[in-house]
């Protein structure tokens, strides 16, 4: 695996993201004179990176969606609360029910921010943090 350069894997990863199929990448690598086992290892590394990028993108999009919905809900709840307190909106609802959309929106915004900060763990192939500190075990 050390014979496959990081630049080559990165270039193939970018080609895959641009829309090139795995069969085209495999044909290019076969034309370059690589063995089928080596090509399989390279394709697996490229596929690993593509899948990781897809999951991170979906995670980020989901977090942003929670944040936007929470923001809209909080602003709507704030307007309803202001209208209720000024007497513009007169309902027989209890006050806690009027303030619920605002508080729910704030909670959704915090949840969206929490999801944005939380990143999926990178694929780590190595001894780990403890083992790298204590190489004698």
**Is the backbone of residue 118 left (phi > 0), alpha (psi -120 to 50) or beta?**
beta
Higher pLDDT pick, 56 / 73: 73
pLDDT in tens, 71-123: 999 999 999 999 988 888 877 778 888 899 999 999 999 999 888 887 655 55
The whole model's pTM is what? 0.56
Rg (CA), the chain: 26
> How do the domains of the chain map onto residue ranges?
6-118
**Token pair recorded at residue 5:** 């350069």
d(CA 64, CA 114): 10
Over residues 66-70, mean pLDDT? 94
Structure token digits, residue 133:
């500190």
Share of the chain above pLDDT 70, in %: 83
Using the predicted structure, report yes or no on whether residue 67 has a pLDDT greater than 90: yes
């Amino acid at each position: 695996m050390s014979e496959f350069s990081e630049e080559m894997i990165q270039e193939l990863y970018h080609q895959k993201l641009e829309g090139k199929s795995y069969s085209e990448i495999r044909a290019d690598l076969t034309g370059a004179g690589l063995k089928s086992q080596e090509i399989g290892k390279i394709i697996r590394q490229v596929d690993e990176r593509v899948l990781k990028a897809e999951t991170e993108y979906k995670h980020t999009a989901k977090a942003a969606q929670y944040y936007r919905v929470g923001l809209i809900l909080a602003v709507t709840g704030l307007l309803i609360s202001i209208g209720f307190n000024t007497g513009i909106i007169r309902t027989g609802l209890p006050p806690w029910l009027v303030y619920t959309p605002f508080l729910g929106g704030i909670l959704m915004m915090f949840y969206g921010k929490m999801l944005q900060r939380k990143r999926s763990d990178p694929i780590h192939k190595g001894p780990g943090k403890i083992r790298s500190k204590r190489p004698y075990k």
